[in-house]
Structure 1
Amino acid sequence: MLELRNLTKTYNGRPVLNGLSHQFQAGEFVAIMGESGVGKSTLLNLIAGLDAPDGGQILVDGTPMSALDDEAATRLRRTRMGFIFQAFHVLPHLTLRQNIALPLLLNNTSQGRADDMLAAIGLAGRGDDFPRQLSGGEMQRVAIARALVHRPALVLADEPTGNLDPETADSVLSLLRAEVKANGACAIMVTHSHAAAAKADKTLVLTSLGLTNARNVN
């Protein structure tokens, strides 16, 4: 589903990623851990196409991202990817329902699933509320619902439970896992939380030597 081939990236003369290669499969929920500054968020940004590697290739379904023009890359992100980043990026002038339904609107598909996702994150009946009425944890839940609503093939999550209490974190990670399995998607989650990583099928540790397989579960 996703293949990284010999990725390199340098910031301010310091190598962050040095010849990184790995394959991620459909239906797989992978956690990536590692020390701060090792390049975990950089890796997600490269996969998302928000930044470009200095060398190597990123292939989605066998297609190199570098072979896509801006329009094709944007279309791929819009239709095939879902993003959960540390900054919520919840739009303040839209209701909760409108925020969650945004990927459906952009893809010209039915917006009915937005209310289902509101219920799934524990905010049923609040579709007409605005982000200013939410706590930080609630806004993160909305961001997670928006990332999943269009059933993306690839979900990229950067510390998705950082603003959530343990009970809510467990609930939304269960939702993320269920969506990945139901849709045959691939999810890659960067986290410092061992409790969050325990929800994944596989935990990889990113070091200067690359991605090391920490554990596997059935």
Structure 2
Amino acid sequence: MRPADLDVSPALECRAVCKAYGGGRVVLANLDFALGAGEFVAIMGDSGVGKSTLLNLIAGLDSADSGEVLIDGASISRLNDDAATRLRRQKLGFVFQAFHVLPHLTLAQNVAVPLLLNGMSPAPALDMLAAVGLEGRGEDLPRQLSGGELQRVAIARALVHRPRLILADEPTGNLDPQTAHEVLALLVAETKATGAATMMVTHSEAAAAFADRVLILADGALHARALPALTDMHAHEPRRA
């Protein structure tokens, strides 16, 4: 499943990836997939079909039975633990449903974590907070924020080190519909502005409507489907502070 307009070096490639669990239950069967820079893809499917497994394989947190996963041309499947950790730090950004901000750190410190892990200056953290509508909030603590604002912090943290690939796991699952629309519009705008590629796992049709492609994971394979009908959600612009 490789669109003709992908870059010559996709942000992500899955090549003949296979994964099965005990009892012979096949989760992924010869999965081929590619994701190009600036592309936003939604992965949908019933509970238990393997969406989280797919994310874990891409992130190098689980290993395939066969095949390989390449991030920006590097096969994470073939790296040892230390090298895989370095690749995750440099090339990946993560946005989760539960936000995973550190409560004892300020917003600026939370956003700066990927920079510090990569030996970079923390200075861009404040600019990234401003980009997601939280200018002037760098010294605030997470307990002072709403759920939507916390997700904005998570997006800023995922993007601040300019990763090649963003993995988003139900990023709006804890948000009300209006806030979810605003956060998704922001995620799309900022990932495209930074040149990242984004894979979002979601059960939400409203969230999937923001994607360039929607793929259904079923029977161990990804199946293309028509984009959901557009609603007025795209009329909602990201709220700026």
TM-score (norm 2): 0.82
- CA separation in 2, counterparts of 1:74 and 1:138? 28
The match for 1:196 among 202, 207, 222 is 207
Equivalent residue number for residue 88 of structure 2: 77
Query: Greater CA deviation, 24-33 or 62-71?
Result: 62-71
Q: Evaluate the alpha carbon distance shift between residue 107 and residue 66 of structure 1 in structure 2; reply closer, same or farther with a 3 A threshold.
A: same
Helix, strand or coil: the match of 1:123?
Answer: coil
Q: How far is 1:198 from its partner? A: 1.0
- CA separation in 2, counterparts of 1:128 and 1:83? 22
Query: Greater CA deviation, 9-18 or 149-158?
Result: 9-18
CA shift digits 1:108-137 (9 cap, x unpaired) = 323233223323334333222222333444
Q: Is the contact between residue 140 and residue 163 of structure 1 (CA under 8 Å) also seen in structure 2? A: no
Query: Greater CA deviation, 46-55 or 131-140?
Result: 131-140
- CA separation in 1, counterparts of 2:90 and 2:75? 17
Unaligned runs of 5+ in 2: 1-9, 229-241
Given the alignment of the two structures, is residue 176 of structure 1 paired with residue 180 of structure 2, yes or no? no
CA shift digits 1:62-83 (9 cap, x unpaired) = 3221222222211111111101
- CA separation in 2, counterparts of 1:18 and 1:201? 24
- CA separation in 2, counterparts of 1:185 and 1:126? 25
- CA separation in 2, counterparts of 1:166 and 1:114? 28
Query: Greater CA deviation, 98-107 or 80-89?
Result: 80-89
Given the alignment of the two structures, is residue 158 of structure 1 paired with residue 169 of structure 2, yes or no? yes
- CA separation in 1, counterparts of 2:48 and 2:19? 13
Given the alignment of the two structures, is residue 117 of structure 1 paired with residue 128 of structure 2, yes or no? yes
Q: How far is 1:151 from its partner? A: 1.6
CA shift digits 1:140-181 (9 cap, x unpaired) = 332222111112110000001111222222222222222232
Query: Greater CA deviation, 53-62 or 95-104?
Result: 53-62
The match for 1:99 among 99, 103, 110 is 110
> Which amino acid in structure 1 is aligned with residue 98 of structure 2?
A
> Which amino acid in structure 1 is aligned with residue 136 of structure 2?
G
Helix, strand or coil: the match of 1:108?
Answer: coil
* Bigger RCO (CA 8 Å, 6+ sep): 1
Unaligned runs of 5+ in 1: none
Q: Is the contact between residue 120 and residue 175 of structure 1 (CA under 8 Å) also seen in structure 2? A: no
Query: Greater CA deviation, 79-88 or 44-53?
Result: 79-88
TM-score (norm 1): 0.90
Aligned residues: 217
CA RMSD of aligned residues (A): 1.9
Helix, strand or coil: the match of 2:99?
Answer: coil
- CA separation in 2, counterparts of 1:120 and 1:166? 22
Q: Evaluate the alpha carbon distance shift between residue 42 and residue 134 of structure 1 in structure 2; reply closer, same or farther with a 3 A threshold.
A: same
> Which amino acid in structure 2 is aligned with residue 6 of structure 1?
A
> Which amino acid in structure 2 is aligned with residue 87 of structure 1?
A
**Identical pairs, percent:** 66
Equivalent residue number for residue 8 of structure 1: 18
Helix, strand or coil: the match of 2:226?
Answer: strand
